[in-house]
Amino acid sequence: MATAVVSPTQLAGSGKSLSVVRARIYRHGVTKRGRDDDADVRSLVAATAERIHKRLAEVSSFIRDSLEDQIPELRGDARIIELLDASVEGNVETLLHALRHDIAVERVEAPTAALEYARRLAQHGVPVNALVRAYRLGQRSLNELVFREVRAAEIGAEERLAMLDAITATLFDYIDWISQQVVVVYEDERERWLENQNSIRALRVGEVLAGKKDVDIDSASTSIRYPLRWHHVALVLWYPDVGAGGDELARLQRFLRELGQAADVGSNPLFVAADETSGWGWLAYRSAPPDAVETARQFARKRPDCPNVAIGTVASGVDGFRRSHREAAAARSVAVAGGQAEPTVIAASDPGLSAAALLGGDIAATRDWVTGVLGDLSADNDNDARLRETLRVFLRSGSSYKLAAEELNLHFNTVKYRVGRAVARRGRPIEDDRLDVELALLACRWYGPAMFQPHEAKGS
């Protein structure tokens, strides 16, 4: 029962009294009427409103039943229905009072029951469009009642037209004015309610993650509205602080919700804000999905507005809920320390990432250790970067030139040459401390410039 949503203050002065309606009648070509005739129209309108008012309970009940039937979202518990009934009756009585006494619409305040009903719908998560639609459908129902009353009146055609124009115009203006007030109340209450609920939810999630006391799984699941007994994939989502537009959390929530739909999860994803530009998310599955991480990765990479995403592994129950989150948080710390400029999609299951995460507790100490292990091979230049990557793949392939060549899509001899150059740049063989070399190369692979020393290139 509303048009475009604006604030009540923007609508100040938009209400119309019956005297303004008279001007509309004249513009529509009806014979100009005198003051006595205007008084006659007001008298007829007041009499019609009085007759309808005598059937207030019946009219209100009819409109309420019609709204329940046509708008499923309004079918709530007994208290909600009782408030709907009070809201309808309050609006009908207020409108009829304005018609009986020729009160300008801008001087009318929304009934208390109507405002409280809007608040209650906001608290129950009923969409605002259902509230707006209720006012529009209520307007139509009242129009039908008015038309029947006017048709039954023993008056001339000109008076009947004047009455219909006056009443329907006032009814439209009333619905337009009041619906704006209840929408503003709804939106304010919805924002306040969500802030309160999200704060409580975040607190409960924090308690579950802390694990400092035994968790009643069923009670906690109800509190955070998420099935803790299921299988979980945790995510950490974030946008860079630079250039933040203020709507990052809403975008992150939308991303997680759409990811959940694409991943065919068994329950609504869980989102908790970590700060103004980042949040924690969980996807819930009834059974362990074989490709959940890859599904999330591919979904993120196809999004043009993708945030940075760190993904944990699939794990079950409360312990799995915590472990997957720890993994995602560790993966995120690696991505942040690496300082990648482009949107990052990183997963704890990526080869070598978990080991690299263990090295990230003290970046400066790790960088010094990497320099000691790799020597000049830790220099920050393109040539040494190619040599490091070739040596890393070669060692991971079991020191097989052939397998490394296939993975890198290089010629066998090129791999062999680069491995030799990498060992030479390091300054000593790798047989005695091969594990240290592999870990140092992993640190370079995941942390990037944070691990490099500013040496000059001496060859390729």
Q: Of 151, 179, 194, which residue sits at a domain end?
A: 194
Q: Is residue 389 part of a domain?
A: yes
Report the share of the chain in percent with pLDDT over 70.
87
2 within domain boundaries: no
Q: Which domain holds residue 327?
A: 226-350
Q: Read off the CATH number of the domain in which 46 is found.
A: 1.10.490.10
Render pLDDT for 45-79 as a digit per residue (tens, 0 to 9): 888 888 888 989 999 999 988 898 898 888 776 77
Judge whether 221 lies within some domain: no
Look at residue 4 in the predicted model and tell me its pLDDT. 34
Q: Phi and psi dihedrals of 231, rounded to 5?
A: -90, 145
Statement to judge: residues 375 and 343 lie in one domain: no
For residues 84 and 65, give the distance between their C-alpha atoms in angstroms, rounded to a whole number: 10
Identify whether residues 179 and 305 lie together within a single domain.
no
- Going by C-alpha positions, the residue among 181, 92, 103 that lies closest to residue 139 is 92
In this predicted structure, what is the pLDDT of residue 244? 54
Same domain, 296 and 438: no
Q: Which pLDDT score, from 0 to 100, does residue 277 have? A: 84
Q: Is residue 200 part of a domain?
A: no
Here the CATH number for the domain that contains residue 400 is: 1.10.10.2840
Q: What is the CATH number of the domain that holds 344?
A: 3.30.70.3400
Confidence of residue 7 (pLDDT cuts 50, 70, 90): very low
Within-domain flag for 316:
yes
Of 28-42, 108-122, 376-390, least confident by mean pLDDT is 28-42
Same domain, 331 and 371: no
Question: Is the pLDDT reported for residue 152 higher than 90?
Answer: no
Residue 438 has pLDDT above 70, yes or no: yes
Contact 377, 419 (CB under 8 A): no
Q: How far apart are CA 357 and CA 182, in angstroms?
A: 52
Look at 19 and 128; give whichever has higher pLDDT: 128
Residues 328 and 256 in one domain: yes
What is the DSSP secondary-structure string of 4-62? S---GGGGTT----HHHHHHHHHHTTPPP--HHHHHHHHHHHHHHHHHHHTTHHHHHHH
Looking at residue 123, its pLDDT comes to 81
At 332-379, the pLDDT tens digits run 988 888 776 666 899 999 988 888 888 887 888 888 898 999 998 988
Task: For residues 256 and 147, state if they share a domain.
Answer: no
State residue 320's pLDDT score.
Answer: 95
| Mean model confidence pLDDT for the chain | 83
Last residue of a domain, one of 328, 350, 372: 350
Note whether 142 and 36 are same-domain residues: yes
Structurally, how many domains does the chain consist of? 3
Question: And the tokens for 19?
Answer: 């005297």
The answer to whether 93 touches 53, Cβ cutoff 8 Å, is yes
pLDDT digits (tens, 9 = 90+) for 185-210: 999 888 777 666 677 888 889 889 98
Buried b (16+ CB within 10 A) or exposed e, 343-382: bbbbbbbbebbbebbebbeeeeebbebbbebbbbbbbbee
Instruction: Let me know whether 69 and 174 are in one domain.
Output: yes
By CB atoms closer than 10 A (0-12, 13-18, 19+), residue 445 is buried
pLDDT value of position 459: 42
Given a cut of 60, whether residue 458 has pLDDT beyond it is no
Query: Do residues 165 and 21 lie in contact, with contact meaning Cβ atoms separated by under 8 Å?
Result: yes
243 band by pLDDT with thresholds 50, 70 and 90 = low
Determine the Cα–Cα distance for residues 418 and 405; give it in Å rounded to an integer.
11
- Considering the domain architecture, whether residues 301 and 414 belong to the same structural domain is answered as no
Same domain flag for 14 and 122: yes
Q: Is residue 430 domain-shared with residue 374, that is, in the same domain?
A: yes
For residue 199, being part of any structural domain is answered with no
- Read out DSSP for 181-240? HHHHHHHHHHHHHHHHHHHHHHHHHHHHHH--S---HHHHHHHHTS-TTSEEEEEEEE--
Q: Does 213 reside within a domain? A: no
Q: Is residue 220, in this structure, part of any structural domain at all?
A: no
**Best mean pLDDT range from 41-45, 419-423, 453-457:** 419-423
Per-residue confidence band for 173, with pLDDT thresholds at 50, 70 and 90: very high
Mean pLDDT, range 224-247, rounded to an integer: 84
* Per-residue pLDDT tens over the stretch 289-344: 989 999 999 999 888 888 999 999 999 999 999 999 999 999 998 888 877 666 68
Query: Higher pLDDT residue, 38 or 288?
Result: 288
Predicted pLDDT at 41 = 81
119's tokens: 């608040």
Residue 240 pLDDT > 60: yes
